[in-house]
């Protein structure tokens, strides 16, 4: 792969020291291309969040290299937008003000902030709720607000840690479609963690399967289904075949270890 956007080179992560040392990730090597959507699946505790947090610059790695655009990650930065399962909106700010928050930090003027915030709220279908407070929104709407906020600062990488995990199945599917729709327009690089194998296959060009104890690369499964993908894709035999491969890679190994 020429000049990957994100690269893990022989990365290990050990939490604690001495007798308490715990290897969460061992020798992970993985490249994600510019403009690619990659999903990461694996049993609980295999190090999915740890891997993503290292790219986000939220936790340091212990050895190896974590690179974004060929440069070592040394901390968080506006080039990487992070979206977690819990929406983490500021309750005292309106939807629009939440989206404007990061833009204010970037030093954008009032009018430009408002324009940009409304654009991204429109993209996620929340323009009519711009002046509402988070507590009046449903879970799906809050998550759409969090997505708009991450998009608004225009990061070239989106890091999503089970972003739709707390939502009902229908809202989940709607947001998956919305994510692909937006991605088809701007082709941002996306690293997306999920426990849901169908979700992993539906949105990704490659599914990265991690194994646990210690966390390590198990398999990378190509999703050879053309974009744009619609609901019909989920019912196709090709989708089922790939889904079953991912499922086996994740759960057969886990069953063997039990
Ligand atoms: N700050 C920490 N200190 C010690 N151990 C940690 C810390 N953070 C994570 N771990 C351990 O590292 C391992 C990987 O955790 P991580 O949260 O990355 O897994 P995960 O695959 O995202 O799990 P899940 O699917 O349950 O969210 C786990 O065994 C966890 O207990």
Q: Which domains does the chain have, with CATH numbers?
A: 1-79+157-258 (3.40.50.300), 84-154 (no CATH)
Omega cis (within 30) before 228: yes
Question: Of 176, 168, 178, which is closest to residue 199 (Cα–Cα)?
Answer: 176
Predicted-complex ipTM score: 0.97
pLDDT at 186: 85
What separation in Å is there between the alpha carbon of 4 and the centre of ligand 1?
A: 26
Instruction: For the chain, state the CA radius of gyration.
Output: 19
Nearest CA to ligand 1 atom 16: 47
CB of 22 closer than 6 A to ligand 1? yes
Whole-angstrom CA distances from 118 to 121, 131, 133, 172 are 5, 11, 15, 23
Q: Name which residue sits closest to atom 10 of ligand 1, judged by CA.
A: 24
For ligand 1, the distance from its centroid to the CA atom of residue 166, given in whole angstroms, is 19
Q: Does ligand 1 have an atom closer than 6 angstroms to the CB of 12?
A: no
Residue nearest to atom 17 of ligand 1 (CA): 49
Residue 243 near residue 197, CB atoms below 8 Å? yes
Angstrom distance (rounded) from CA 95 to CA 1: 40
Nearest ligand 1 atom, CA 46: 21
Q: For ligand 1, atom 27, which residue shows the shortest CA distance?
A: 44
Q: Is the CB of 214 under 6 A from ligand 1?
A: no
Q: Is 53 in the pocket of ligand 1 (CB under 6 A)?
A: no
* Residue 156: predicted pLDDT: 92
Where the chain has pLDDT below 50, the residues are: none
pTM to 2 decimals? 0.91
pLDDT for position 151: 85
Distance 225 CA to ligand 1 centre (A): 32
Q: What is the mean pLDDT of the chain?
A: 92
24 CB near ligand 1 (under 6 Å): yes
- Looking at residue 169, its pLDDT comes to 87
Atom of ligand 1 nearest to the CA of 212: 21
| pLDDT reported for residue 59 | 95
Identify which of 230, 118, 235 has the alpha carbon closest to the alpha carbon of residue 181: 230
> What is each CA distance from 246 to 68, 96, 209, 224, in whole angstroms?
27, 39, 7, 13
Euclidean distance between CA atoms 166 and 72, whole angstroms: 33
* pLDDT for the residue 185: 85
Which pLDDT does position 255 carry in this prediction?
A: 54
* pLDDT score recorded for residue 53: 96
CA–CA distance, 38 with 193 (Å, rounded to integer): 9
Beta-carbon neighbour count of residue 36 at 10 Å?
20
Taking the C-alpha atoms of residue 249 and residue 242, their distance in angstroms, rounded to an integer, is 11
């Amino acid at each position: 792969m020429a000049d990957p956007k994100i690269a893990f080179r022989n990365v290990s992560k050990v939490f604690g020291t001495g007798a308490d040392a715990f290897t969460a990730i061992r020798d992970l090597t993985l490249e994600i291309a510019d403009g690619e959507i990659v999903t990461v699946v694996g049993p609980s505790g295999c190090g999915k969040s740890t891997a993503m947090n290292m790219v986000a610059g939220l936790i340091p790695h212990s050895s190896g290299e974590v690179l974004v655009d060929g440069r070592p990650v040394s901390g968080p930065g506006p080039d990487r937008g992070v979206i977690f399962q819990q929406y983490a909106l500021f309750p005292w700010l309106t939807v629009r003000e939440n989206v404007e928050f990061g833009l204010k930090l970037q030093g954008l003027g009032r009018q430009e902030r408002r324009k940009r915030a409304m654009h991204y709220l429109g993209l996620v279908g929340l323009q009519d709720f711009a002046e509402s407070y988070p507590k009046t929104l449903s879970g799906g709407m809050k998550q759409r607000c969090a997505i708009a906020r991450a998009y608004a600062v225009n990061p070239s990488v989106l890091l999503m840690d089970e972003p739709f995990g707390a939502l009902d199945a229908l809202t989940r599917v709607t947001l998956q479609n919305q994510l692909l729709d937006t991605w088809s327009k701007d082709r941002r690089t996306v690293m997306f963690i999920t426990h849901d194998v169908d979700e992993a296959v539906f949105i990704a060009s490659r599914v990265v399967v991690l194994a646990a104890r210690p966390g390590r690369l198990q398999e990378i499964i190509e999703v050879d289904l053309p974009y744009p993908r619609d609901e019909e894709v989920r019912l196709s035999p090709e989708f089922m075949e790939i889904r079953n491969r991912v499922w086996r890679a994740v759960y057969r190994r886990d069953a063997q270890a039990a």
